[in-house]
Structure 1
């Protein structure tokens, strides 16, 4: 194995005898590989990946090859979805993605991926042909097949129901668990309303609005814009505890998939590469403009913005480029791409996606130009910063820099640090910390929006 393998996105497949010996390399150092599985007869290997390791926002496809090495075939080349992408939610840690799942006869392969607004199960035959949707119209996290493929077990959620176990067989689809029913009967939840808007290129983009459960005609409400991470994250028909908590407290919640999001195809996701804070910012502002035009019950003088990871970066970018929002809460965020380069677990692999060129040292100024820290003097929005001390993806120093910058500018700000938590605080953190995070968010919006 190459001593500097961690500096490349390339991954290879090796086999080694169960009795020991030297590993045998089966691939040629040309692919990004995220998953692999053996065919039932052991004659073929399937893997999910792509053959453009230096490319940005490249779709992950389904490939097959002889199990002893040899010619590789891409079975989903024309599908234009990145395999394995799920729809975001904060009510599950991460159901293990099954990857490439072979049919019992080895003639076809099943897989899971997002196509807005759902995550569906698909199938493709080894001899080529179109990708077939097997189960759609639901947000699915994981699945498995019975021995003869006649039964598919899967878990699925929607925007008002956490994940439950479902079965599809010859009789159709049915839910077989009811873990959350008793709780849901006691709750009054808001059902998201879907609408679309057109960005500056004329592209139609999905958006959703959630009203407070006790919404009354004629009243006006504060609203919070939620921004997903990634940037190749996905909003769709999946439940967010955070969103429902906000609506229960009397806020309108708005969310969309700006350019850079997954679930729409490779070109849409790649648009933002090298252009952070440009077309994504434009789309988010156009989305807010359209929401305010359509929904007169939103109080334009009481707007909040929040997001985590890349959504935290965009929150910081937004408040440093406009004062239309009256309060902000930024989670596990980024404010300085220059320092993130050497402090993050993926920082050294990001220069091209930020500056459009892989040479960080020649284009450090471009990294600074894409950093909210560069524009901290513009910030007027009261901003709460929430960060985990063990976050290796967006290190703690990012929050500390943003806090110091805003403090020196006289911007109302607080920094809340969570010990013994990592990048996944909102999804898999300790229950007491997840509750505390949400309490701080509600406290901040209560202070500035009500």
Structure 2
């Protein structure tokens, strides 16, 4: 790759070995075409442990340094978070699944994995947890894409339910096999939630992660819309006339873009999203991000024109969808000006729009009161428009 960046994450990280003096550096040939996390040595130095992003999940593997195929150290499907290896080869790890937030587990030798915590047992016992189902579909150009649908908890024969499309950020990220509290809250309010791992996502090989190169707000947006069509065809109980769309960071950018391309969504909630790729390039402290994603700095090779062509604000006059913007006032990744200018543009066009500004917050919301406030307002926004 001719350009790299402190921010962009298009290229999957792989596991390498070298001597302490830096010599004989080489990649471990394990046949894993997916993003690998930072490794740790086993206590005897004979093996390495590392995570792998894999079709919406995060798996933990073990591989012998002498060679051979990696073996799963944790076999349950879900997202492995923090983990640690003991001197006796024991393994402690946190695992989140589609039906449970993370709990701590311990594995000793070849024995069964033992749950050490049940922090959420009492809380979850009083709740009805929504079922999450994965499915694949073909996008407009035939590419296979995977999506995850969280079903409404009050689904019954003959009932119809609105759908909220929840778009992940990155764009080089994934979602799916992990507890998504927001999707569960929406499900408790009668909504279904759809998450699409569009092209550019991780966990599906380098080729798919690269498929977004030079094409932001392009075919990956078509993947999301094709996923919506596939969900409507697969789940007849979804009400296609009552659909909302939202996302954070790159998911916010795609939300901004998609509502300029279609009016099929009755409400939108972009969080920390880019609306103008040109101003983003020159205002964000990730100044080289778009250069890497498009292959050149904007002032070269016509990239500036391409960025404007793929900026949502260029097409603000096409938007019909009521939109509520969420942004942190201290966001340096995606400056709040990205929301402000699109908000003003929608006001000029006459589209119903609201902007929520959260003090002290950066890229995404962290303070508990702000998270709760934004979720309450989001539910109210969807209740009003769907």
CA distance in 1, matches of 2:150, 2:180: 11
Give the equivalent residue in structure 2 for 1:229: 169
CA distance in 2: counterparts of 1:442 and 1:56, whole angstroms = 32
Greater Rg by CA = 1
Q: Which residue of 2 aligns with 1:164?
A: 103
1:261 is matched with 201
Q: Distance in 2 between matches of 1:82 and 1:183?
A: 34
Q: Is the 8 A contact 1:56 1:273 kept in 2?
A: no
Which residue of structure 1 aligns with residue 74 of structure 2? 135
1:361 aligns with 2:299: yes
Aligned to 2:46: 107
Distance 1:389 1:176, change over 3 A: same
Aligned residue for 1:21?
none
Instruction: Assess if the C-alpha contact under 8 Å between 1:226 and 1:254 holds in 2.
Output: yes
Structure 2 residue corresponding to 1:81, chosen from 23, 28, 34: 34
**Is 2:216 the partner of 1:279?**
no
**Which SS does the other structure have where 2:170 is aligned?**
coil
> 1:216 matched to which residue of 2?
156
Change (3 A) 1:268 1:399: same
1:184 deviation in Å?
Answer: 0.6
1:192 to 114, 129, 132: 132
Superposition deviation, residue 117 in structure 1? 3.5
1:50-77 CA deviation, whole Å, 9 max, x = no partner?
A: xxxxx97212011121212322111146
- Give, in angstroms, the shift of residue 143 of structure 1: 1.1
Task: Check the 8 A contact 1:56/1:270 in 2, yes or no.
Answer: no
Q: TM-score, normalised by structure 1?
A: 0.81
Q: Which residue of 1 aligns with 2:329?
A: 389
Do 1:192 and 1:210's aligned partners in 2 also have CA atoms closer than 8 Å? Answer: yes
TM-score (norm 2): 0.94
Residue pair 1:76, 1:131 contacting (<8 A) in 2 also: no
Corresponding residue SS for 1:110: strand
> Which stretch of the first structure deviates more once superposed, 236-245 or 314-323?
236-245
Cα distance in 2, alignment partners of residues 145 and 204 from structure 1 = 37
1:167, 1:173 within 8 Å by CA — same for their partners in 2? Answer: yes
**Which runs of no fewer than 5 residues in structure 1 stay unpaired?**
1-6, 11-31, 33-54, 85-98
Distance in 2, matches of 1:69 and 1:297, equals 59
Cα distance change, pair 75–337 in 1 and its aligned pair in 2 (3 A): same
What residue is the counterpart of 1:441 in the other structure? Answer: 378
Structure-2 separation of matches of 1:154 and 1:223: 34
Q: Determine whether 1:69 maps to 2:22.
A: yes
1:360 Cα deviation (Å)? 1.3
Alignment match of 1:403 (pick from 343, 352, 371): 343
Give the distance between the partners of 1:343 and 1:415, measured in 2 at CA.
Answer: 20
| Cα root mean square deviation, aligned | 1.8
Gaps of 5+ in 2: none
Indicate conservation of the 8 Å contact 1:328/1:384, yes or no.
yes
Report the counterpart of residue 28 of structure 1 in structure 2: none
Of residues 321, 324, 328 in structure 1, which corresponds to 2:264? 324
Supply the distance in 1 between the matched residues of 2:188 and 2:164 (Cα, whole angstroms): 13
- Size of the alignment, in residue pairs? 380
Q: Is 1:431 paired with 2:384? A: no
Aligned partner of 1:90 in structure 2 is: none
Aligned residue in 2 for 1:95: none
Residues 288-329 of structure 1 deviation map (CA, whole Å, 9 limit, x = unaligned): 111111212111111110001000000001000111111101
Q: 1:358 to 1:56 in 2, by over 3 A?
A: farther
Q: Which has the higher contact order (CA 8 A, sep 6+)?
A: 2
